[in-house]
Amino acid sequence: MRKIIQLSLFLFSFTILVSAANSDEQRSFRISKNLSIFNSLLRELDLYYVDTLSYDKMMKSTIDNMLIKLDPYTVYMPEEETDDLKFMTTGEYAGIGAMIMNKDKNVIISEPYEGMPAQRNDLRAGDIVLEVDGQKMDGLSVSDVSSKLKGIPNTTIKILIQRYGEKKPIEKVFLREKIQVNPVGYSALISDKIGYVLLNEFTDRAAQELKSSIAELIKQHHIESLVLDVRNNGGGLVDEAVKIVGYFLPKGTEVVTTKGKNSDADRTYKTPSEPIFPDLKLVVLANRASASASEILAGSLQDLDRAVIIGERTFGKGLVQNIRPVGYNGHLKVTTAKYYIPSGRCIQAIDYSHRNEDGSVGRVPDSLTTEFSTKNGRKVRDGGGIVPDTITKDDRKLNIAYYIFAQNLYFDFATKYVYEHPTIASPADFLLSDTDFNAFTNYLIEKKFIYTSQTEKYYNELLDMAKYEGLDKRAEEEFVALKAKLTPDITKNIEENKEDIVDLLSLEIIKRYYFQKGEIQFSLRTDKDLKVALELLKSKEEYNKTLKIGG
């Protein structure tokens, strides 16, 4: 009997091995077959197609169309995008240190970084880039102009610009430099013994810069609580997030686990060192644009009851990417696994492997989510992203203020404003005067500002469909009345939404004088999430109750 059982087990194991071998063989055959077809097709096109082919563009387009069926994060980066890859991981590139954008068929400086070559050599937001090193920029895209501005550190660059209020073009000659954007965008004391740090990204210096900022706040202001802001932080290097978690939790604490199709992708990340700030009370601000490493940071601190999360449900990007070389200095950024945080829940919100017939994908419905527990027994759920302990809502509506923004009219007015106002008050004290607001209103009239609301667009679609079905005449009076109600009264809408308009215009003006830090400092004055965080941190009882500390 025992021999029969042993023989049965052997045959069963043999069958599995043969099946696996056949599966691998079939997969290899399918890969070889399709590569052969593609190779033959490309050769036939090369021989017989009527026009000359652009092989590199065709190949990039083919690869992009293949990868887009998988997920948005699996992408091919050819040799010319190597600088972008380096910037993603290090925040470093060589150039002038300014953001540029396309406007009115010109490429213009949109935002110089404080302390970097562009700002030090008086390149300003609104300057039109006419020439770079003697080459005209007419008709070039933003990426084309960007590649001209970048280069080897310490090489001379000559930029010809046209500035508002100046009749003749201005020439600027200076050296390109290695530009490294600090992942910590701002840090400050915001209340008695409460510090604030904005972390913009998880590049390879994120943990070190954050540690330095917190240490300085402790040294200078003796802070006992910290608000760590990862709103709009799209993520980056997972190791940096793990290091940061390690500043607040014991060495060897499990932070995140990755699980993939291949065991090579399975890995557990633990805090690498003893905590530096073990007793600092901590609140993390997050929103719908907080993704990937930001979610690992917020989610692990929530699962381990080490921080209170305040804000909106996060993005839900729990997919792991690795960079693989693919020849000729190109790289494939490929999704290899999913992230799981200490409670066991997965961060990923969308299942790209199961698309709808139209190619779309959906979030995991709440009815299919699973309940998990934090270290102290608090209930949390999966389904994608991190649901904050205290949820706040952005109650701003899509109104005229954002249509003005979409047409770059705040930007244009700020360019004019700077020309007429050499200085303004500090970000902590600046207030847009009624005179300035009226000047902006007149500017909108002068520019013949109009817009079509989303509601009005839907109205037009409804009317077109009614005409198509022959129903427009039957409801003609109703359509006319509805049209009258939906057509924007611009003067009235400006007055009704003055607060939002003033806020967005003030931000654009402040950036011109005090750059990115000034913009942040001004924004924090009316930050609702920050207000909730401060109230919580000032109440030890509420803070402990939220985290279930001490019973």
pLDDT for 67 beyond 80 = yes
DSSP character string of 39-68: HHHHHHHHHH-SS---HHHHHHHHHHHHHT
Among 524, 539, 462, which Cα is nearest to 196's? Answer: 524
pLDDT tens sequence across 367-426: 778 899 999 999 999 988 999 999 998 777 889 999 999 999 999 999 999 999 999 999
Q: Is the pLDDT of residue 64 over 60?
A: yes
Q: Which residues pair with 172 in a beta bridge?
A: 159
C-beta of residue 116 within 8 angstroms of C-beta of residue 146? no
Average of per-residue pLDDT across 53-70: 89
CA gap 411, 99 in Å, rounded: 14
Count other C-beta atoms under 10 Å from residue 386's C-beta: 29
pLDDT in the model for residue 505: 98
- Residue 19, H or E segment: helix 2-48
pTM: 0.86
How many whole angstroms separate alpha carbon 41 and alpha carbon 308?
Answer: 57
Long-range contacts of 218-222 (CB under 8 A, 24+ apart): 218/277, 220/189, 221/189, 221/193, 221/195, 222/193
Q: Report CA dihedral (288, 293, 294, 300) to the nearest 10 degrees.
A: 110
pLDDT in tens, 305-349: 999 999 999 999 999 888 889 888 889 999 999 999 999 999 998
Phi, psi angle pair for 77, to nearest 5° = -120, 105
482 contacts: CB under 8 Å, gap ≥ 6: 459
d(C-alpha 92, C-alpha 161), whole Å: 25
Buried b or exposed e, range 103-116, using 16+ CB within 10 angstroms: eeebbbbbbbbeeb
Least confident of 54-58, 170-174, 224-228: 54-58
| Domain residue ranges of the chain, discontinuous segments joined by + | 92-180, 184-394, 400-451+488-532
Per-residue pLDDT at 473 exceeds 60: yes
For residue range 102-161, list pLDDT tens digits in order.
998 999 999 999 999 999 999 999 999 999 999 999 989 998 999 999 988 999 999 999
* CATH topology (fold) of 184-394: 2-enoyl-CoA Hydratase; Chain A, domain 1 (3.90.226)
CATH fit for domain 92-180, picks 3.40.50.1400, 3.40.50.620, 2.30.42.10, 3.40.50.10380: 2.30.42.10
Helix (H, G, I), strand (E, B) or coil at 245: helix
Query: 142-146, 246-250, 480-484 — which one is most confidently predicted on average?
Result: 246-250
Catalytic (active-site) positions: 292, 303, 317
**CA 463 – CA 440 distance, rounded (Å):** 35
User: 252 with 277: CB under 8 angstroms?
Assistant: no
